[in-house]
Structure 1
Amino acid sequence: MAQVLCPVLVGREREVAELDEALQAARIGRGRFVLVSGEAGIGKSRLAQALIERARLGGVTVASGRAVEGSSVAFRPLAEALNELVRDLGPPVDRDLEPYHAVLSTLVPSWAGRGQVVIQPGLVLLEGVLRLLRSIARRHALLVVLEDLQWADSDSLVALEYLADHVSSERVLLVGTERSGMPGMAADHLARLVSRRVAVRLKLGALADDAAQEMARVSLGVDFVPPVVLGAIRRRAEGVPFLIEEMLSAYLTAAATPDVVNEWRITGRIAESLPPSFRDLVHARLATLDGDSQQVVTAAATLGRTFEWPLLMTVTGLDRARVIACLRAAVAAHLLVGAASDVDAFSFRHALMREAVLGELLPPERAELAYRVAEAIEDQRPGLPGEWCERAAELRELAGDDLGACRLLQESARRALHRGALESAEASLRRAREQARGDYVLWMGVYTLLCEVLARAGKTEELVEMTRALVAEWERTMRHAPQSLARMVAGPRRAQIYLDAARAGLVGGDYALAGESLSKARGAAPEDEKVALRARSLEAAVQLAVGDPDTAAREASASLEAAERLGLHDVLHEALEISAMAAAEQGDHEMAASLFGRLCDSASRDGSTLWRLRALAALGAIESRRTGDTRSLDAARTLAVQTGAVSLLAAIDLELGWQRLALARFDEARTFFAAALDSCRLFALPQRPEALLGRAALYALQGKAEETRSSLRETLAEAGERSDVRAAALGEVEAVLALVNEDRARARALLKDATGRAARWRMGKPWFFGLCQLLDVVEGSGTATGLQGEPAIAAYGWYAEAVRLGRTRKPDDAAAALARADALMPPGWRRHHAHRIVAEAALADGWGDPAALAGAAIEFFETAGLRRIADASKRLQRLAGVPARRAGRGASTVPASLRPFGITSREMDVLALVGEGLSNASVAQQLFLSPRTVETHVKSLMRKAGTNTRAQLVAFAARHRSSGEPAND
């Protein structure tokens, strides 16, 4: 049969113009997702190919992928497109992509080996894909075409939704094709994207008569097409381009010779005998084949639209030469085409052709053939690598082999879980659950794996509900089960079901379920030492979660000894972590650091990357708080980047942000807090309240009152009822803002409120417990306590002890206490702020070298831009008899914008404080002036600024403060 293909795109001018407009928008960073929809054969792929050609001519980078019917391989169309990009362009060098290399290696095999994936939430992979597309599109705009989305797997659909939500500010155009009229998961998902207006649907309709006529003319390469042919095309093809081509091919075949074609001697009988439907056309083509060739074609249709021909020998029983001869006949009949890039692959010319071939089979024939194909696949593809497992499972389902399908669906789900394709894993297991109802042991295995998937996906409510239902169903079944089954799942196997339920309760926050399940696990295997040990370790984790570190420490310690003796490394690592965390909760950071170090060493020996990373991150946090040393944290961050552990990376960034904030290195702190906050927002991580609090604390230490209040409101709204965050908001944020403003009375009141609420914050007792104690002693209403334990708190205790000893005329002892405090307090603003407070007490009580303490504080706080504390330290230095560096009479530099007003340095001191809302009395107290002197300065300022009221003067100060010029040295 002659084959006719139209060489150009006809009748789609409007659609081409719309896609061109979308492509131009993507060039300037206004990406979008366009969904091209239409019936089979309407020209979706032609339009996409035309867009690809136009994009390439315009210098746009192009990648494409295709979903395949019957394939449940997660992310298949996206993986195909990404591999094309990386293969053609090479992997982009981009620091923003570093945390995602490991997780992206599941889609881009050439990146395998860049790190073992230890944590791979689905959302992390989606963000990695977005960042990869963004990185590639930086140089040239990017067009990604994904075809046949009606067959897309659930994970690909979730990925498309994520990309559609975030591509509007990227130089990326996503174009998908979808066959309309195919209800199902994909259709519903894509329809939601359109209804949410994150996708634009471009509907392809049938060609108008004049366009169909033009297509026929161009396809045949003639100036005139006989009316009898055009009439048949109008009646039969109904404006579908694919059918137009097929009918023209039939016409050329019927015309017999080119000479006859050129003369257009075609009779009405031939025209009217053209196939009345596409299925009839395919039926007619099949009828031209012999029996063996028909058998080969139907077996190929069962394998898929694209298939590997060597499998056909096993399915049909024909030898190699005969199968090749049959394939040649099917290609000649224009049913099949060979794949240019794979010598073993063939494809049906169109998805419609494959469907029509399958439609020729009766249901029993299809089931029998599906069974034979599944057997051939399992025989010829040992281990069922890649998508073969999913394909074999589909065939087993089609063949009615429920248990075989369930077995393969479970394996498919395990592989999807390893890849992080949680949606695909869940979908496979829900299908497997239906197939396994005839086999209780298999059904239990499916449920157990499904619970693990739900836990990894963060679906804790459903996890707890399903776990309770699973346990109840299992107990009901065991009451009525035969003795053989009861013996099969007795003892440790029965206990393991309860241990899994206990862990689900722990993950889901249902501690009652955890406790009940642990009790039942012990009862199911009372003599089994390993069961008892695992139960004890889980019990310790529950006790730590409910706020009982003492009990957790005892249980973990006992588990630790037994795990070492029995060689259970998973329990050993869990017990070490719980013991270390309990020690930190109890304030014994030295012991916690030792235990985390031991866990790190043990995990390194066992090759457990996840446990090593968790230990290294926790150890780094402790070292950072004790000494300011971040080497372990930096190493943990590198490992988190390599392994794609985004949740732990966010926690590490938070710790590094707090460490930089303690040093008053504001730009670096801002960078780390922003990175952590971005990760929390993108991946819905539980550390989001802490990240927001870190940002608020940054504003507070900088003295930015308005930004602090705004950020604090967001933090508290996000924190909900979390008492630790609410207490830290008082101590880390509001009290610090008061300290920066030298409002010690307010700071002390806030700290008392905070310490009354908080028992712990950031792995242990909050540092501001120590500051509260120091302020109490300075005010004469407290005693120095807490000289051991957490370093910062102990340091504040020794600072308080120095003040107490100096007050009791023991200068040498006071100096020794001060030295001990400095040895404990990590470097940063807290140490220098403590010096500013101690210097004031030393000056009043006549001991030590208050001028030197104040001088060091001045240098630190001036460099950090903390004007109020620096000014207070300058005043202390002057009172100690050492002149401070001054600009004129005041301590402030007059900005250039205020010099034309004739404002002096001393008036600048007053204006800055008045602008922050302080009364004359408060200003006088801050500047060591009399209220009358301050009043005189305020009147002079109002006169020079041309204001009539104090409120206008405050506004005047704010305008010049917002100009960006420094108000003070």
Structure 2
Amino acid sequence: MHANSPTVVDRDDELELLAEAVRRGRDHRGAAVFVVGEAGIGKTRLVTEAADRARSRTAVLRGRCSRAGAPIALRPLAEALLSLVRTGLTPQDAELQPYRAALSPLVPEWRRPGSPHQPESLIVLAEAILRLLAAVGRDHGCVLVLEDLHDADTETIAVTEYLVDNLAGLPVTLVATLRPGAGAALDLAHQCRRHQTGSVVELRPLTDEAVTRLAAACLDTTPEALPEPVTRRLHRDADGTPLIVEELLDGMISTEALRPAEGGGWQLTRELDTTVPATLARSIAARADGLGPQGRAALDTAAVLGRSFSPALLQTVTGLDYRGLHIHLRAAVDARLIHPDSGYGDTYVFRHALTAEALLAGLLPGERAALARRAAETLEAGAPELSCELHELAADLRRQAGDDHEAGLHLAAAGLQAIGEGLADKAAALLERSVELLDPHRDRTAWADAVESLLNALTESGRIERAFALAGSVAATAAMELDPGRRAGLHARLAWAAAMVGRWEQAAELLAAALALLTAACTPEQRIPVDIVDGYVQVRDGRATPGSAAGRAEELVRSATDTAIRLDLPVIACQGLQLLALLARSRGFDEADACLRRIVSIADRHGLPLWRARAVGRLAGNHGLLSGSTDQLEHVHEVYLRSGAITSAHQTEASLALLAVLRGDYGRAECITTRCEPVLARLGHTGDLTYVRVIDAMLAAHRGRPRELARKLAEYRQLGGEHSEYTPIVLGLCEAVSALLEEDRPAARAALAAARAWDEGRPTTYFLGGRHGLELLVAAVDADLDPEGLDEAARQAPTRLRWNLQFVHFARAVLLGRAGRLAEAADALASALDAAQPFPLARHLGLRLTAEAALADGWGEPSRWLRTAEEYFHDAGIAPAASACRSLLRQAGLPATQRRSGHTRVPQGLRGRGITAREYDVLVLLALRYGNTDIARRLFISPRTAEKHVASLLTKTDSPNRTDLCDFAVRNCP
């Protein structure tokens, strides 16, 4: 018999607090509770009781942290989600589909066969978990229980922090158990209490009276029936800890000092002795000794491996055969020392942390170190290519053996594997521990490699401030231990990190420090990272403009990139090719795309999923800008969603939103920005959020809403966007377009001039600011552009972008019409309208501006163009532009469009010809071959009025006679 209590004793207040947290979750008021207590105090028993009470109405997901066995990142979260999958309760909401893919590293069943895996940051993973929990708990709430959070890996702590910070308004309750010792878990618990995002329950020892009741419950008797010496010993030695009460009772029973009495109850057979912790240790040791010398030795070795362990590894370390090992494991299970770990296949876990600790306490320090060293050597010898998780286990064993440097080497290897898998956050956590443990005096190369890899991981995970702090903390060691070339490489990595987040002044300072350290003795591997960053900084400073004396950036980067490819340095090669693709766009997008395809090839060959995602997204974006089509972007977006690449999916959605604005699909653009903004803000993706805010401003501008535009631009500037790389879009696609729709030509030209000045100051990835398109048309209409200037502008590659190309053709039509070359002008206008086909606002703005020039210069069909434009602007609610079209018609002595009831019934093509609602009624009857008298009788007008309407229709439809007009009516009237 074993002593276990079927009930929770003396925890009523704590149970009520947990029940209230569950109720808050059901009411969509999200709650988090951290249950803190010493080992054995009853945290698990309390939370289990609370979860069991909630389970009848609420979904309960549960996972346990462990540093034992082969460490598994995010283990408790994976265990919790797997329990959900096993029960078949996974929500099938369509909006969760991309997040299922994002969670596929935790739940393999959600990985789509053949889909490329695009790893995400921990923040995106946390968002995916949050959405899933919210969907699970939508109707009755969801409880997520994370046990032993003090044993959590860095990734689990980061995800837990994100979940707790964002539970408000969600049907989710998070409950975590942890010990009170200093560490990240306890820091998180107290932080949540300070920020009022969670509660902390500190479990205190039981009172003597509660210990008595617990002991009685364990023995299925009454408190009064307990032998007095047993009660006295429990009060004295158990310290109010439920687990020790149970272990002490187990010890008394197993040694037969306490036996069931014949008439019921319990009796002592001899005097009780020993004290806690010796009593507890002796109780566990006695049960372990019962396994025999070989079994006890195996169990001691298992305790060194951790609270949970792999039988296969234990067999290799101990040298036992398969049958012998499993006989000992079965005996240990029967002795209630270990039990199978149902969450992770063929692994075992000690019944309680105190069990493993008691076994370890029985070993001499030298014995424990020897066991750990032998286990580490066994791992290293048996699997030269260890997995990331086994490297972490080997590091833990090496630390137990007292060899911190070897532990650091294993953590560095694990970090490099994580970088290769695109898991930048995990890599950063592993490499930080590695740098702390490695001894630069013992192996400066290994230490420097770990520092460089850590800087790379921190940059990829967006933790730039931490990267700079790291550089400061290792600067003195680096100066003493590293040669100038290695130190230059560290400065170059930091400069790259600063450049990627737009901190150009800091990037320039770090670059200068790197350049100062380079000497003739530096190797190409040490020099080329500096050259790549030098190129980026030159481009940003505007020193790479064509023809400038200092414009050596492209040559420098091309040489460095070729060297990186030759030396098989894939990340540096991708960095260089990315800049070369940027610079090539000013010459031609074929060349730029070739650079991006090389990045894809390198990324595929070397397993660099983040670089692949960047390049594929840029390729699709280039195609969208060139063609005006969203087909490739849509396909890439779908691939990202299927593979769970949420960050890349949101970035692609931003590009789709921009094209949606240009294409006049304002509803879709608004839907995308509304969906993306809160997620990007929650994820902390400031750069992407700023871009989405710019698109929001574009929406307001293109809808002709100047007040809303001003408000959106104010929000954009609050994010620090005033001097950002998006300035050309703000000036050209927002302010200039808005001014033109408001008929404020001077303001539009000023915005376009500012966009041009910005472009001339630095190469840019944004070519839609007007310099290569809209500004040319406005200048042509205002007679500030000659044919030679237009030809020169048209030779530049950015004019190939379809949005720009339409304005180039409109401008050419204006100049040709002004020169009297009417046939060529007509051809240019046809080309403009063809290029403008995907862009309704730009098409009609082009017609409005071209018509103004055509009226002044006496060519083309300006009245028809103006009516078409007026129709569009009127229906779009852009009153100033519509009014300007009508004013130009009146100034030319032409009838302006009349706005009568039923006007919207007229098909748009006919409205473009200036056909009124009444004339449309006449045209419908002409399609039926009615004469003027019949038309007058049916429309209740005079025959003379009917005759006037027919005459007007002959003019507006270019019909030579009534028969042709009737045929036209048949073709155009439904």
Query: Structure 2-normalised TM-score?
Result: 0.79
**Does residue 697 in structure 1 map to residue 698 in structure 2?**
yes
Shift of 1:810: 5.3
Shift of 1:384: 4.0
Output aligned runs, 1:707-856, within 5 Å.
707-720=708-721, 722=723, 724-726=725-727, 728-759=729-760, 762-764=765-767, 766-767=769-770, 770-780=773-783, 783=786, 785-787=789-791, 788=794, 789=796, 790-791=798-799, 792-793=803-804, 795-807=806-818, 811-812=822-823, 814-825=825-836, 827-828=838-839, 829-856=841-868
Task: State the partner residue of 1:40.
Answer: 39
Structure 2: distance between partners of 1:314 and 1:778 = 84
Shift of 1:139: 5.7
Output aligned runs, 1:379-390, within 5 Å.
379=381, 383-385=385-387, 387-390=389-392
**Does residue 638 in structure 1 map to residue 627 in structure 2?**
no
Shift of 1:729: 3.0
Task: State the partner residue of 1:445.
Answer: 449
Query: Aligned partner of 2:846: which letter?
Result: A
Output aligned runs, 1:318-337, within 5 Å.
327=329, 330-331=332-333, 333-337=335-339
**Does residue 857 in structure 1 map to residue 869 in structure 2?**
yes
Structure 2: distance between partners of 1:581 and 1:825 = 26
Answer with 41-50 or 851-860: which moved more: 851-860
Task: State the partner residue of 2:49.
Answer: 50
- What SS does structure 1 have at the residue aligned with 2:743? coil
1:853-882 residue CA offsets vs partner (Å, 9 max, x unmatched): 123324433454434433443555566645
**Does residue 887 in structure 1 map to residue 878 in structure 2?**
no
Task: State the partner residue of 2:156.
Answer: 156
Structure 2: any 5+ residue segments left out of the alignment?
500-506, 547-551, 907-974
Output aligned runs, 1:280-429, within 5 Å.
280-287=279-286, 289=289, 291-309=293-311, 311-316=313-318, 327=329, 330-331=332-333, 333-338=335-340, 345-379=347-381, 383-385=385-387, 387-418=389-420, 422=424, 424-429=426-431
Task: State the partner residue of 2:951.
Answer: none
1:382-429 residue CA offsets vs partner (Å, 9 max, x unmatched): 644463332221111111233432322222222344455545533433
Q: Specify whether residues 746 and 416 from structure 1 end up closer, same or farther in structure 2 by C-alpha distance, changes over 3 A only.
A: closer
1:507 to 485, 497, 507: 497
- What SS does structure 2 have at the residue aligned with 1:34? strand
Shift of 1:161: 0.5
Structure 1: distance between partners of 2:409 and 2:564 = 33
1:558-581 residue CA offsets vs partner (Å, 9 max, x unmatched): 667788899987777655543331
Answer with 105-114 or 394-403: which moved more: 105-114
Q: Specify whether residues 86 and 720 from structure 1 end up closer, same or farther in structure 2 by C-alpha distance, changes over 3 A only.
A: same
Query: Aligned partner of 2:136: which letter?
Result: I
Output aligned runs, 1:252-291, within 5 Å.
252=253, 254=256, 257-260=259-262, 262=264, 264-266=266-268, 270=271, 273=272, 275-287=274-286, 289=289, 291=293
Structure 1: distance between partners of 2:18 and 2:115 = 39
Task: State the partner residue of 2:182.
Answer: 183
1:160-185 residue CA offsets vs partner (Å, 9 max, x unmatched): 100001122222211111122x1223
Structure 1: distance between partners of 2:250 and 2:593 = 78
1:710-739 residue CA offsets vs partner (Å, 9 max, x unmatched): 221111122355165445434333333333
Answer with 696-705 or 563-572: which moved more: 563-572
Identical columns (%): 31
Structure 2: distance between partners of 1:459 and 1:607 = 22
Task: State the partner residue of 1:127.
Answer: 127
- What SS does structure 2 have at the residue aligned with 1:686? helix
Query: Aligned partner of 1:624: which letter?
Result: G
Q: Is the 8 A contact 2:700 2:706 kept in 1?
A: yes
Structure 1: distance between partners of 2:314 and 2:171 = 45
Structure 1: distance between partners of 2:345 and 2:121 = 37
1:272-299 residue CA offsets vs partner (Å, 9 max, x unmatched): x254214423214424625444433322
Structure 1: distance between partners of 2:858 and 2:758 = 37
1:457 to 461, 468, 471: 461
**Does residue 82 in structure 1 map to residue 81 in structure 2?**
yes
Q: Specify whether residues 340 and 685 from structure 1 end up closer, same or farther in structure 2 by C-alpha distance, changes over 3 A only.
A: closer
- What SS does structure 2 have at the residue aligned with 1:387? helix
- What SS does structure 2 have at the residue aligned with 1:144? strand
Task: State the partner residue of 2:192.
Answer: 193
Structure 2: distance between partners of 1:179 and 1:567 = 48
Shift of 1:330: 4.6
Structure 1: distance between partners of 2:26 and 2:227 = 46
Number of residue equivalences: 872
Structure 2: distance between partners of 1:629 and 1:401 = 60
Structure 2: distance between partners of 1:612 and 1:314 = 40
Task: State the partner residue of 1:145.
Answer: 145
Q: Is the 8 A contact 1:581 1:763 kept in 2?
A: no
Task: State the partner residue of 1:524.
Answer: 521
- What SS does structure 2 have at the residue aligned with 1:786? helix
Structure 2: distance between partners of 1:332 and 1:7 = 20
Query: Aligned partner of 1:671: which letter?
Result: C
- What SS does structure 1 have at the residue aligned with 2:520? helix
Q: Specify whether residues 70 and 274 from structure 1 end up closer, same or farther in structure 2 by C-alpha distance, changes over 3 A only.
A: farther
**Does residue 245 in structure 1 map to residue 240 in structure 2?**
no
Structure 2: distance between partners of 1:361 and 1:636 = 58
Structure 2: distance between partners of 1:232 and 1:473 = 56
- What SS does structure 1 have at the residue aligned with 2:174? strand
Structure 2: distance between partners of 1:167 and 1:600 = 38
Q: Is the 8 A contact 1:596 1:618 kept in 2?
A: yes
Query: Structure 1-normalised TM-score?
Result: 0.80
Q: Is the 8 A contact 2:134 2:170 kept in 1?
A: yes
Q: Specify whether residues 699 and 114 from structure 1 end up closer, same or farther in structure 2 by C-alpha distance, changes over 3 A only.
A: farther
Q: Is the 8 A contact 2:421 2:607 kept in 1?
A: no
Structure 2: distance between partners of 1:186 and 1:552 = 48
Shift of 1:378: 4.0
Structure 2: distance between partners of 1:249 and 1:88 = 35
Query: Aligned partner of 1:280: which letter?
Result: T
Q: Specify whether residues 350 and 753 from structure 1 end up closer, same or farther in structure 2 by C-alpha distance, changes over 3 A only.
A: closer
1:189-238 residue CA offsets vs partner (Å, 9 max, x unmatched): 32222222212112222334544443333332234423614344333334
Output aligned runs, 1:469-480, within 5 Å.
476-477=480-481
Q: Is the 8 A contact 2:391 2:410 kept in 1?
A: yes
Task: State the partner residue of 1:3.
Answer: 2
Answer with 141-150 or 113-122: which moved more: 113-122
Structure 2: distance between partners of 1:16 and 1:274 = 35
Shift of 1:825: 4.5
Structure 1: distance between partners of 2:226 and 2:708 = 78
Shift of 1:629: 1.7
Output aligned runs, 1:554-565, within 5 Å.
554-555=555-556
Q: Is the 8 A contact 1:71 1:153 kept in 2?
A: no
Q: Specify whether residues 565 and 73 from structure 1 end up closer, same or farther in structure 2 by C-alpha distance, changes over 3 A only.
A: closer
Q: Is the 8 A contact 1:306 1:345 kept in 2?
A: yes
Answer with 343-352 or 313-322: which moved more: 313-322
Shift of 1:187: 1.9
Structure 2: distance between partners of 1:325 and 1:814 = 94
Q: Specify whether residues 535 and 758 from structure 1 end up closer, same or farther in structure 2 by C-alpha distance, changes over 3 A only.
A: closer
